[in-house]
Amino acid sequence: MKKIFSILLLLISVASFGQHHMMLALASQSTTPATWYDFRYATYKQQFSVATQEGTSQTMFFKPDGTIMYVLGSAGDDINQYALSTAWEVNSASYTKVKALNTLGGTSEGTPTGIFISPDGTYLFVIGSGADYVKQFTFGTAWDVATLSYTRELLISGQEGNSSGISFRPDGSYMYTIGTAGDAVDYYSLSTNWNISTASYLGTKSISTQSTTPREIYFKSDGTEMYLLDGDATDFRVHKYTMSTPWDIANLTYSTSRDLYNTVIFTETTPTGLFFKGDDCSRMYVVGTGGDAVWQYNMEYGNLNNTELLYSTNVSSISTMTKRGLFIDDLGQHLYFSGDSIIECSISSDYDSRYTSRVRATVFDSDSKPGISFKQDGLKYFLIRDATGDYITHQSISTAWNISTYSGASVNFTITSTTTGPTGITLKRDGIAALAVGNTNDDIDLYTMSTAWDASTSTNTTSVSLSSYDTELQGIVTNKEGTIVYIIGSSNDKIYSFYLPTAFSISTMVFLNDFSISSQETTPYDIALSPEGKYIYIIGGNNYIYQYSTF
Q: Is 312 found in the same domain as 290?
A: no
The DSSP output letter for 414 is E
One-letter-per-residue 3-state SS of 303-371:
CHHHCEEEEEEECCCCCCCCCCEEEECCCCCEEEEECCCEEEEEECCCCCHHHEEEEEEECCCCCCCCE
Nearest alpha carbon to residue 337 among 533, 489, 537: 537
Q: Is 504 found in the same domain as 441?
A: yes
Q: How far is CA 195 from CA 134, 147, 296, 330, in A?
A: 11, 19, 32, 52
- Tallying the residues shown for the chain, one arrives at 551
Tell me the per-residue pLDDT of 233-289, one tens digit each, with 9 for 90 and over: 667 889 999 999 999 999 999 998 887 765 545 667 888 899 999 878 889 999 988
- The answer to which of 150-164, 186-200, 280-294 has the lowest mean pLDDT is 280-294
More confident residue, 167 or 442: 167
Distance separating alpha carbons of residues 189 and 205, to the nearest angstrom:
15
Q: Is 492 found in the same domain as 349?
A: yes
Q: Is 325 found in the same domain as 288?
A: no
Is residue 130 within 8 Å of 110, Cβ to Cβ?
Answer: yes
The whole-angstrom distance between residue 13's C-alpha and the CA centroid of its chain comes to: 38
Q: Is 520 found in the same domain as 455?
A: yes
- What is the residue-wise DSSP string for 167-200? EE-TTSSEEEEEETTTTEEEEEEESSTT-GGGEE
Distance separating alpha carbons of residues 291 and 303, to the nearest angstrom:
25
459, pLDDT greater than 70: yes
Distance separating alpha carbons of residues 45 and 291, to the nearest angstrom:
16
From its phi and psi, is residue 183 left (phi > 0), alpha (psi between -120 and 50) or beta? left
- The answer to which of 46-50, 281-285, 387-391 has the lowest mean pLDDT is 387-391
What is the mean predicted confidence (pLDDT) over 141-157? 96
Q: Is 310 found in the same domain as 292?
A: no
From its phi and psi, is residue 182 left (phi > 0), alpha (psi between -120 and 50) or beta? alpha
Per-residue exposure over 411-439, b if at least 16 CB sit within 10 Å of its own CB, e if not: bbbebeebbbbbbbbbbbbebbbbbbbbb
Phi, psi of 198 (to 5 degrees): -100, 15
Bridge-based pairing of strands 214-219 and 199-206 is: unpaired
User: Is 121 inside any structural domain?
Assistant: yes
What pLDDT is attached to residue 13?
35
167, pLDDT greater than 90: yes
Q: Is 394 found in the same domain as 423?
A: yes
User: Is 263 inside any structural domain?
Assistant: yes
Q: Is 337 found in the same domain as 207?
A: no
What pLDDT is attached to residue 260?
74
Average pLDDT value for the chain = 87
Q: Is 251 found in the same domain as 330?
A: no
Q: Is 318 found in the same domain as 261?
A: no
Residue finishing a domain among 299, 317, 340: 299
Q: Is 360 found in the same domain as 269?
A: no
Percent of the chain past pLDDT 70, that is, above it, reads 89
Tell me the per-residue pLDDT of 210-227, one tens digit each, with 9 for 90 and over: 988 899 999 998 999 999
Nearest alpha carbon to residue 186 among 212, 209, 168, 213: 168
Is residue 116 within 8 Å of 168, Cβ to Cβ?
Answer: yes
Residue finishing a domain among 279, 299, 319: 299
Q: Is 289 found in the same domain as 272?
A: yes
Distance separating alpha carbons of residues 329 and 373, to the nearest angstrom:
9
More confident residue, 5 or 521: 521
Distance separating alpha carbons of residues 218 and 116, to the nearest angstrom:
10
Tell me the per-residue pLDDT of 284-299, one tens digit each, with 9 for 90 and over: 999 988 888 999 988 7
Nearest alpha carbon to residue 252 among 217, 215, 201: 217
User: Is 237 inside any structural domain?
Assistant: yes
User: Is 5 inside any structural domain?
Assistant: no
- CATH number, domain of 244, equals 2.120.10.30
What pLDDT is attached to residue 312?
97
Tell me the per-residue pLDDT of 11-26, one tens digit each, with 9 for 90 and over: 333 333 333 333 333 3
409, pLDDT greater than 80: no
50, pLDDT greater than 60: yes
Residue finishing a domain among 244, 265, 299: 299
Is residue 469 within 8 Å of 463, Cβ to Cβ?
Answer: no
Distance separating alpha carbons of residues 390 and 367, to the nearest angstrom:
10
What pLDDT is attached to residue 365?
67
What pLDDT is attached to residue 364?
65
Bridge-based pairing of strands 225-230 and 214-219 is: antiparallel
453, pLDDT greater than 80: yes
More confident residue, 39 or 539: 539
More confident residue, 105 or 35: 105
Q: Which domain, by its residues, includes 192?
A: 10-299
What pLDDT is attached to residue 237?
85
Domain count, the chain: 2
Q: How far is CA 210 from CA 17, 149, 264, in A?
A: 19, 38, 22
What pLDDT is attached to residue 9?
31
User: Is 492 inside any structural domain?
Assistant: yes
User: Is 483 inside any structural domain?
Assistant: yes
Distance separating alpha carbons of residues 129 and 111, to the nearest angstrom:
6
Nearest alpha carbon to residue 100 among 56, 59, 138, 146: 146
Q: How many CB atoms lie within 10 A of CB 244?
A: 9
